[in-house]
Structures are given as C-alpha cells and as structure tokens.
Amino acid sequence: MDDQSRLKTIDDFMLNSEVPLDLDDLMMVLAEAYKVPIALIGVVGEFEETFKAHYGTTLSKVTREHAFCSHVVEERKQVVVSNAQEDPRFMHNPLVTGEPHICFYAGTPIEINDQVIGAVCLIDTVPREIDAKHLEVLERIGALVSQHISLSREHEALKREHGLIEKSPIVLATWRYDTSLRLVYISKNSERVLGVSPQDLLTGTVALSEVLSEEAEGDFTFAMQAHMEGVETHTCRLQIRTPTRTIWVSMISTANFREDGMLYSVQAFLFDTSDQKYVEDKLNKTNQRMRLLLEASELGTWDWNLAADVNQVNKRWCDIVGLEYEYYDSGSRFFRQLIHPADYVKVEKQLNMHLIGKSKVFNTTFRMKHTDGSWVWVESYGKTVETDAQGKPVRIAGIHRDITQRMESELHERKKTQLLQFINKTRASYLQNNDLTMACQSVLAELIDISDSQFAFVGQMKGDGSSSRLFIHAISEIVWDNSSFSQYAEYKKRNLYFSNFDNLFGTSILTGEVTISNAPNSHPNSKGVPHGHPRISRFLGLPIKVKDKVVGMVGLANKFDTYTDEDAEFLQPFLDALAGLFYAVELEEARAVAEEKLRHLAMTDSLTGLYNRRAFLDECISFSKQHCRGCVAIVDIDHFKKVNDTYGHDAGDQALIAVARKIAKHNQAPNVVARLGGEEFAIVMIGDKKEEIHRQLEALRIAVEEGRVTYKTDTMNLSISIGATFIKDTFEADFSALLSLADKALYRAKEQGRNQVVWDE
Ligand SMILES: Nc1nc2c(ncn2[C@@H]2O[C@H](COP(=O)(O)OP(=O)(O)OP(=O)(O)O)[C@@H](O)[C@H]2O)c(=O)[nH]1
C-alpha cells in the first residue's frame, strides 16, 4: 500500500480541520438499524485515526497502532471481527481490554480518488455475527459517505477560493442571460474595489452603467453585445466614476453558452489598473511631446518591431521620400526596397552589426528613392529599445535626417577634386610618355567611377572630310562574341576605329552637341546595339571640340541615375583637357611633318628630286660604314650650254630632269645618286666587279644617247660623259678623294671626245 499517496488524498480538511461532516445523525441511524451501540466514521492518518462522525462513544481519536479501521485501509476491503477477545490480533488491544471494550467490529472502506482513507464501522461490546446482505448495505453506505466527503471537500475549496477573491482586488461578477443580461452575482469586494456595494448592484438600486463614464459605458455595452453574438472572451478597460473617486478598471469577461449555442451566462473579472493607466498616460504624454519635438526638428522617426516586422514611422519620415503618410507600408520589405542598390549591402551590414551587439548604435548614411525618381541622402541613427529574455533585440527605434543637400555639395566637391586629379593625371601621363592613347587608357576607370557609369570610351577624329574616322584611344572591355573579341583585339593593337556615325554614339560627332539619352531605344538616332551587346540603358555623348571643330568624343553609358546637363557640365574640364591634348598632338604631328619636309628639302635638289651635294656626301659617309665594294662616278651632260642657248633655259631644265630620271632608273637603292650642281650628277654604285659596273655605266650612257627629250615643239638629242673610280679600300674609303679621282676621269672623257665612260688610271 502506498501510504504516501493515500496521505496526500487525506488532506488538511479531512484530518485536522474543525470542519464537521454533519454525519453524526447518520451514525445514529446506522447504529439503530444494525442494533449496535457504536457507529463511526474514522479517517486513518499517519499516526492516528480521527473520528469525523460518531455515535455511542465520546472518543474522537485513537492511535493508528490500535485502530481497527487501519486494517480496512491496509487490506482495502471490508473487515469483520466477530469476537475480538478471542482473536489473537486484537485480544490485547487496549480498545478491547478497556474502553470502549470492542468485541464486534465491522468496517467498510471509505474511498476517495481510488485511495482508501478510512472506514465506516459498526462496533459492539459483545460477540456477534453479520450476514452478507447486511455487509452489502454497509458497503453501499460506505460508498455514499465517500461521495459525501468528496463533495464536502470541493465545497470547502470553493468557499476558500471565494474567501480569497473577496479579500483580493479582483471583483468577480456573473450575469445570467434570459431575455437580457442580468447581474446575478458580484463578489463582496466590489464595495472596496469599485466603490459600489454588491447589494445595491444586485438589487438594481444602482446599475453598473450609472457608475461608468460615458465612453466606458459604450465599451461595456460593446463587450456584452459581443458575447451575445458568440464572442467567448473579451478584454476592455473601463473608467468608473463614483462620488468619491475615479478609477480605471480592466475587465476580462468570458461567455458560457448552452448546447444550442445560446448565451447562458457571462463571468467577468474586474480589477483596478488605475496605476498602470496613470503611467501609460504619462508615457503617452511624454511620447506626444517627443513627437512634437521631433516634428519640429525635421527628423523622421522610425520604430521597428522586428518580431512582428512592423516599422512605424512618422509623417516627416514619409515626407523625406515623398510618400503620402496614408500609403506607407509598415513591412520592412517596403523600406528596404527604397534603399539605393549601391548602398544596400552597407546598410544591412551596419544593421546586423547592431543586432548582434557589435555596435552600440546603428548609424549610417545611404540613399533612398524619392517618389519623384530622385535619390535622397538620409542619415539614419537607431538603437535597440527592447530585447527578449535572451537579450536579443526585438525593437529598434531611431531617426532619419535628410542630408541630401549636404551630401550633394560634399560629393560635388569631392568629385571636383577627383576630376582635377585625373585631368592632371592624363596630362602628366601624356607629357611623360608622349602617348595620348596610354594617357586616355590610364584614366578610363576613374572616368567611369566619377560619372557613376558602367561603360565608357574616349575617341579622337582622324583623317579629313568624309574619310574621317573616330580612333578609339580607350574603351571598356565589352566582349560577347567572336567579332567583338576581334574588335577588342584591334583595340589592343591600337587599331580600333568607329567609322559609322549614323547612330546614337555618333550623334555628338555629327551635331557637335551633347547627347543625353536616358531611354536609348526611344532616341531617334538609336539603331540599337549589336546582338549580344550588354544592354545600354542610358547614354551620354560628349563632343570634344577645338575652336568649334569636333575633334573627338567621350561616350558614357548606364549610369545608375539619369544623365543630366549637369553631368555634361561637370565633365567639361576633362573634355577641355582632352581637347588641349588632342590639339597639342595635332600640332606636334604637323610640326613633325613640316620638319620632315624641311629636312627633305634641305637634302633634295628641287629641280630633279635627287639628293643634293650635301645629302650625297652624308649618304657617302653612311655608305662607307657598310664597307661595300663598288664605284664612284660623275655624270656630266655634254655641251649643255648649247642646249640652253638653243632651246632656252626651261628646255634645259627639262633635259636635266630627263637625265636625272634615267640615272635614278639605272641606279635603284642601295646605289646612291645625286645632283652635284649644274649639269653634273654623282653615282655610288655597288658591285664586286669593275667590268660589270662598267657595263651598267655604259648602259646608262647609251640610254641617254638614244633617248629623246621633248620640250614643247622641240626634240633634244643628249649625251653624257662619265668619269668613274673603283673603291679599292672598302675600309677607309675617302669619298672626297674618290670624287676628285672620278672628276679627273670625267675631264679625260670630255677631252677624248665626250659621250663615253672613262675610268681613272
Ligand atoms: N637650264 C639650266 N642650265 C644650267 C643650270 N645650271 C647650269 N646651267 C648651265 O649649264 C651650262 C654649263 O656649261 P659648261 O660648264 O660651259 O659646259 P658645257 O656647255 O656643258 O660643255 P661641256 O661640259 O664641256 O660639254 C652653263 O651654261 C650654265 O648656265 C640649270 O639649272 N638649268
């Protein structure tokens, strides 16, 4: 037998309380019926048995050791002792040997919650028998007593609870519903808590509605109405005004319904929450004042409940981004999507840092999309204001300040400095390397960055008129197929040109104007982009001009924001710098061409186009360094004075040109030919063998002799004399000496009758 659990069942109420069971009369009836002198109800505790009702004895308790009933408890069944004086278990029991001299005992169990806690018993002082029928009746009486005890316990517990309620600040009220709700019960503490006596309320002398404020009366009626319509529980706060005081009461009401769904009753707890209300009001007032202060300070406020994902903001917050307060959506997804894509990661990172406790405050600046399409710079400052039991933030509140103006001027200044720096970088690179392409390429990344763009190119016009093309100094690497790959390879080889300007890109070249297109597909000049080309969502074309002439352009594409005139204006210094560099390069190139022309002129005989004497001597010097074998020859036109005299000076010039051409034709590079002056020419002819050289000189002589030179109506017959000398010492060839030897040979050729080749001896 588990005595511990049995003792738990026999609680204070059964063992120690003075609460009577009121069953003494039943014991009397039982004793009469069974014709025994003693009948009692015993409850067996740990150390003793207490008689909760008795008849025929004045004893109220006996020790457990001697108690007959403990046998019933232990055996959990009826126990009958016919003659205790002869029963070895009881014969020495003081209750047998002394008062009340028990001889006969019949006990039946009292059972509560499956535990036998005692017995209903019949006692006689003489021996006797009891038949089965009487024992069965006794058993039934035992069952009835068990039930009675159970109910009495529950009743007592309820009474205790009631007593507690009446001492508590919670008023309990019950309304019964027939045709209307009628107050049928209200705990006695209503006088103390609500200031209205329960009698007055129950008799209807005072109606509850009379003490409620006007607003509370409405709320109370609403609650009762809700219950009548099937609402099970309802909570509201009511203001009660009695002649002595005004209090705030919270009411939690529960409705009970019949099986057919009709309202049966309403029970309610009413308790004074005036203190809480006072604090709340005060907080509200403070909040209100704070709100007014914030409104005045132009600050947007936000209060984000993370668990519920509700972000409450004030009107100013909405104003900053141009939103109607009424259309604000409190879900975090809404404000998240307003954040500029370029700032989003930064904001999330800062927020997480704060949420995991790595930063005391959340403080960052970012851009938000205004309803007018522009971006607004916002400084956000927030802090956790509520955490859960584990210290995890559940609410963050903070402020927003519109810092667009400040940021824009700061950014503008910063960008201006950046622009100047990279203009200087372009110039420095050019000055250092004298390479404009390299200079443009070195700043392409910075140009993209400063203009917030994705792609860029810098081009310069090359060539004149209709053949002019745009040479691409620098361009973003956009490669998507074989042809674009080879185009980019051309660019790498510095050989990429744009020659078609009948498109969006070429508009600035053709018009000389800035091209702004924030919807390129709808631009009249747009021809689209080649298949596979990354999408161009926005385009800015900037012409580079020198004295109103378009000398190149800068193309920018895919800014996050729209391109504006301000962008073009901002980048103008860069365009001017490029214009300056382009101009400088043009001048440099023109100077080089002029120089080359001058050099050429200085070295050339203007009439025949051959080297002049000076150039010839220079060439001889470089020729001598090659240590080649060959000859030096001087060619002179015979009787040239006569030609001049006969046909005129112009015809003479023509004759000189004709002979020069023949000499040049017979002496291709590396042979060197020159006009030394007058009608005298010089040749340096390469060759190992004198005979072979002679043959060539002879061939030249014959060609002149056989050739006819015509000028206007005149035809001239010419001949030449040639004096030649073979270069014997190829290592130390002295061309002045060689020329003089050739000259001597020429003299002899003239002497010997002209029109011949003569070698020095
Ligand atoms: N048309 C023309 N005549 C020139 C030029 N330079 C020199 N002469 C002439 O060439 C002639 C040279 O004559 P000379 O040196 O006397 O010899 P030549 O008449 O050719 O007689 P030989 O050399 O002895 O056969 C002069 O009459 C010069 O005026 C020139 O550039 N153009």
pLDDT tops 90 at residue 192: no
Q: What is the position in ligand 1's atom list of the atom closest to the CA of 649?
A: 1
Residues 364 and 441 in one domain: no
204 or 553, which is more confident: 553
Looking at the structure of the chain, the number of domains it has is 5
pTM here is 0.46
Residues 356 and 431 in one domain: no
Q: Are 445 and 473 spatial neighbours (Cβ–Cβ below 8 Å)? A: no
Mutate to test the pocket of ligand 1, among 641, 643, 657, 701 (most ligand atoms within 8 A of CB): 641
Protein residue with its CA nearest to atom 29 in ligand 1: 641
283 within domain boundaries = no
Q: What is the position in ligand 1's atom list of the atom closest to the CA of 640?
A: 20
Looking up residue 539, the CATH number of its domain turns out to be: 3.30.450.40
Residues 115 and 193 in one domain: no
Protein residue with its CA nearest to atom 9 in ligand 1: 641
286 within domain boundaries = no
293 within domain boundaries = no
Q: How many other β-carbons are positioned within 10 Å of the β-carbon of residue 674?
A: 27
Residues 155 and 184 in one domain: no
Mutate to test the pocket of ligand 1, among 679, 680, 747, 754 (most ligand atoms within 8 A of CB): 679
Centroid of ligand 1 to alpha carbon of 686 (angstroms): 29
487 or 277, which is more confident: 487
Residues 370 and 252 in one domain: no
Cis peptide upstream of residue 670 (ω within 30 degrees of 0): yes
ipTM of this model? Answer: 0.96
294 or 184, which is more confident: 184
Sign of the alpha-carbon torsion through 95, 97, 102, 103: positive
Residues 96 and 192 in one domain: no
Centroid of ligand 1 to alpha carbon of 750 (angstroms): 14
Protein residue with its CA nearest to atom 18 in ligand 1: 639
Residues 726 and 610 in one domain: yes
Strand order in the sheet with 672-677: 672-677, 680-686, 630-637, 720-726, 757-759
Residues 457 and 498 in one domain: yes
Check residue 682 and give its pLDDT: 95
Protein residue with its CA nearest to atom 24 in ligand 1: 639
Check residue 391 and give its pLDDT: 87
- Cα separation, 628 vs 626, in Å, equals 6
Domain end residue (candidates: 402, 429, 445): 402
Centroid of ligand 1 to alpha carbon of 679 (angstroms): 6
Residues near ligand 1 (Cβ within 6 A):
636, 638-642, 644, 649, 652-653, 656, 678-679, 750
* pLDDT tens figures, 98-145: 888 999 999 999 998 888 999 999 999 999 999 999 999 999 999 998
Q: Which domain holds residue 641?
A: 604-759
Centroid of ligand 1 to alpha carbon of 649 (angstroms): 10
* pLDDT tens figures, 308-349: 899 999 888 999 999 998 889 999 999 999 999 989 999 999
Average pLDDT over residues 152-174: 79
CA dihedral 52, 57, 63, 65 (to 10 degrees): -110
Q: Are 510 and 492 spatial neighbours (Cβ–Cβ below 8 Å)? A: no
Q: What is the position in ligand 1's atom list of the atom closest to the CA of 644?
A: 1
Centroid of ligand 1 to alpha carbon of 313 (angstroms): 107
Residues 100 and 198 in one domain: no
* pLDDT tens figures, 24-78: 888 898 899 899 999 999 999 888 898 988 999 888 889 999 999 999 999 999 9
